[in-house]
Amino acid sequence: MMMSAIDFKTSLTTMNVDAISSSQMKAVKTILREMDMTYQRMTEISSAGAGLFKFVMAVVGYCNVAKVILPKRMAVASLEKNLALSKNEYDKITKELKALNEELAALQENFHKAKEEQQELKSMAEVMERRLRAADKLISGLESERVRWLKDLEALQNERVQLLGDCLLVSAFLSYTGAFNWEFRHELIYGNWMVDLRARKIPMSENFKVEKLLATEVEMSKWASEGLPADELSIQNGILTTKGSRFPLCIDPQQQAVNWIKRKEAQNNLKVCTFNDSDFLKHLEMAVTYGFPFLFEDVDEYIDPVIDNILEKNIRSAGARRFIVLGDKEVDYDPNFRLYLVSKLANPTYSPKVFGSAIVINYSVTFKGLQDQLLNVVVAHERKELEEQRERLITEMSQNKSLLKDLEDTLLRELASSTGMMLDNIELIRTLESTKTKAVEIAQKLTLANQTSAEVEQSRDAYRPAAKCGAVLFFVLSELAVINPMYEYSLSAFLEVFNQSLARSKPDPILSKRLPKIIDTLKYAVYNYACTGLFENHKLMFSLQMTLKLMEADGQIDTKELDFFLKGNISLEN
């Protein structure tokens, strides 16, 4: 009946096998056991029944298996449920992680920015610290210079107002005074020209000094170390020789100029000739071409016209070439070329043309200059180590002053040429530190040298009476030329007599006893030396002149009283 139902097959195919209960399965198994039927036997009985039997057996098998896997299915379902929950949790966590990663990325970006800012601030702090240190060094390094520069600036501002009169005096000095002796120069500059400028109300320095305006202490110190006497006339002559616009012609009977020039230009490959040398023109051409200094010594009143173009500086140009006509040749002219002419004649006569072409300079020795020179000779003979120390000090002081000036100039040049932020100029700071260190060291050396020099000069001054006596005697000899032009005595010859007197005088370890012996021996030697060449009728006059000048130098005679004794009352005659 059941199998004949219309929807039987459909009910079988749509049957929910999983809905079969265990009691139903038990009942089916009981029936199958009671039937004791196999599929083969069922096939023989009924093919439809065999199909149904097979279906039932399959369902039973399935139910048996389902019974075994049910817990597993439940576990799988539970796991799937947990998986779904975990997946949801995972998705939630993934979203949160993504958000956190995005936040972390933003934080890292901010961190990098903050780190870059920190590094930038650190770099800026280092720069600021370095600049602060540099500023401290600049301030401390330049503080000492600041005071001096302010004083110099104030002095320069005052000098700017007075520059007109000072320049007039300096120009006149360089142009007109070279040929005069010290007394005439002094009277001309300070007694006439300065008075005239003041009368015309032309501004000028109150305490005008030619040497102060035209030469620095470094230059004067260097000249002294090269053998130029330190008296005012010699310094002026050094200025005229080095600063004049024309080449110098030195009237140098005592050979002071020629000795100084030779020492001054020795390292510059100085060429020395006379007009009597047959090859002087060849050497002169070489000096003009290559810029060597050239010295004509023993010049008399005649100057070879072949050097006129050089004296007058008739320099010609052809394109980039500069040349001068020397004789019948065109000689390339080097601007470093310097020409010196030196004459031994005491009172030469030169033509106006020579005075217009060269600057004639009177190097005739002054009393103070000769006294200092003779003092050097005395001390070198009596205390050689003292004179060597003095010469060494002069050289060292000259070098140190020159080095100090170079350091100051270097510092100013670095400051003036510094570009950008000055505090970032490491080279400038290093230069400043090096300059200040060296400057302090040199200043200390100069201070010590000045102290030592003062002590040396004090020791040397003890021998000055002998040098003073020698200077007086030399000028007495020089004045004999007024009596007779034949009575000419060179300084070199007098120095021989002076040295012989030092050697012949009786030695004594006590200076107070030694000096009178030197002076007495010197007087005797000079008197004998002079009388050898004097006419008999001039010897008494020489003796009187020598005695009077020595007494006058010692302050034993009044010059006005002596003039009154010799000349009488001139005002009454007038």
The tens digit of pLDDT for each residue in 367-387 reads 888 888 888 888 888 888 877
Q: What is the mean pLDDT of residues 61-80?
A: 79
pLDDT tens, position by position, 260-318:
999 999 999 999 999 999 899 999 999 999 999 999 999 998 899 999 999 999 999 88
Per DSSP bridges, beta strands 293-296 and 338-343 are parallel
Helix axes 232-243, 367-382, angle to 10 degrees: 110
The rounded mean pLDDT for the chain is 85
Are 225 and 210 in contact by the 8 Å Cβ rule? The answer is: no
- What's the CA gap between 109 and 191, in Å, rounded? 88
Find the helix or strand (DSSP H, E) in which 293 lies: strand 293-296
Q: List the Cα angle 106/107/112 in 5-degree steps.
A: 100
* pLDDT bracket for residue 571 (50, 70, 90): low
Cβ atoms of 476 and 548 closer than 8 Å: no
Measured CA angle at 496 (ends 494, 499), to 5 deg: 110
pLDDT tens figures, 237-261: 999 999 988 999 999 988 889 999 9
Return d(Cα 250, Cα 196) in angstroms, integer. 29
Note whether 294 and 261 are within 8 A (CB): no
pLDDT at residue 189 is higher than 80: yes
Mean pLDDT of 429-435: 75
Selection from 219-233, 304-318, 477-491 with the highest mean pLDDT: 304-318
Find how far residue 453's CA is from the centre of its chain: 27
CA distance 90 to 563: 134
pLDDT of residue 207: 84
**Contacts by residues 551-555 (CB-CB < 8 Å, ≥ 24 positions apart):** 553/468, 553/469, 553/472
Count, residues in the chain: 574
- Return the closest-CA partner of residue 287 out of 339, 357, 341, 343: 339
Cβ proximity of 244 and 267 under 8 Å: no
Question: Where are the alpha helices (H) located in 329-463, listed in sequence order?
Answer: 352-357, 367-382, 384-417, 426-461
Cβ(341)–Cβ(307) under 8 Å? Answer: no
Of 82 and 65, more confident: 82
- Cβ atoms 519, 502 nearer than 8 A: no
Alpha carbon distance 275, 302 (integer Å): 9
Closest CA to 221 of 394, 380, 13, 56: 394
For 171, 301, 399, 492, 527, the CA distances from 211, given in Å and listed in that order, are 13, 30, 20, 28, 38
pLDDT band for position 4 (cuts 50, 70, 90): low
| pLDDT higher than 50, residue 395 | yes
CA gap 464, 457 in Å, rounded: 10
Is residue 259 within 8 Å of residue 227, measured between CB atoms?
A: yes
State the pLDDT at residue 236.
93
Q: Characterize 44-54 residue by residue with b for buried, 16 or more Cβ atoms within 10 angstroms of its Cβ, and e for exposed.
A: eeeeeebebbe
Q: Is pLDDT above 80 for 208? A: yes
Six token digits for residue 378: 């005395």
> For residue 408, what are the contacts with CB-CB under 8 A and spacing of at least 6?
145, 435, 439
Per-position b or e across 200-210, b if 16+ CB within 10 A of its CB: eeeebbeebeb
Which three-class secondary structure string do you get for 330-350?
EEECCCCCEEEEEECCCCCCC
Query: So what's the pLDDT on residue 476?
Result: 93
Q: How far apart are CA 477 and CA 254, in angstroms?
A: 13
As a whole number of angstroms, the distance between CA 552 and CA 558 comes to 7
Which helix (H) or strand (E) segment is 307 a member of?
A: none
Cβ neighbours of residue 327 closer than 8 Å, sequence gap 6 or more: 281, 306
1 confidence band (pLDDT: 50, 70, 90): very low
What is the CB-side half-sphere exposure of residue 520 using CA atoms within 13 A? 8
The pLDDT of residue 70 is 74
496 confidence band (pLDDT: 50, 70, 90): very high
